[in-house]
Amino acid sequence: MKKKVLIIEDDLISSTALEMMVTSNGFESVGRFDSADELSHLCKVNKPDLILLDIMLAGKVNGLEAAQELRKEMDTPILFITALSDSNSTKVIKSIKNSTATYKPYIEESILRKIEDILK
């Protein structure tokens, strides 16, 4: 059974590239979304094994806020894929249980290794 990945990325080119990378490496994409406003609902409906989550997104909440809210209900692993590497963002990511980050510009092999490590 394929592991399911939910992609939350507001840049169309990036989200398409991530989805192609995920599906071509044996994972199932359960959708691409440009906003994390409905992250909890999306997780309940799609039941992903992993969330690829950008921080700066379209919508009312950023990826960090959405992840913090999600942790009140579920512990789905999160891989933040972001250009934000400032100390505050890094500190918040580290405080969110069952999450890690990789930074843009990213290397596909690096993301795949992280995905595989998370989903073991």
Instruction: Give me the pLDDT at residue 84, please.
Output: 87
Residue type, 8: I
- Helix, coil or strand: residue 26: coil
Dihedral angle computed from the Cα positions of residues 10, 120, 27 and 8, in that order, rounded to the nearest 10 degrees: -10
34-58 average pLDDT score: 96
Q: What's the pTM value of the predicted model, to 2 decimals?
A: 0.95
The CA distance from 42 to 50, in Å, is 12
Residue 44 pLDDT > 90? yes
| Phi, psi (deg, nearest 5) at residue 53 | -130, 120
Pull the structure tokens for residue 83: 């250009």
Q: What is the mean pLDDT of the chain?
A: 95
Instruction: Give me the pLDDT at residue 30, please.
Output: 97
Burial class of residue 97 (count of CB atoms within 10 Å of its CB; 0-12, 13-18, 19+): exposed
Residue 39 pLDDT > 90? yes
Residue 1 pLDDT > 90? no
The 10s digit of each residue's pLDDT in 77-105 is: 999 999 988 889 999 999 999 999 999 88
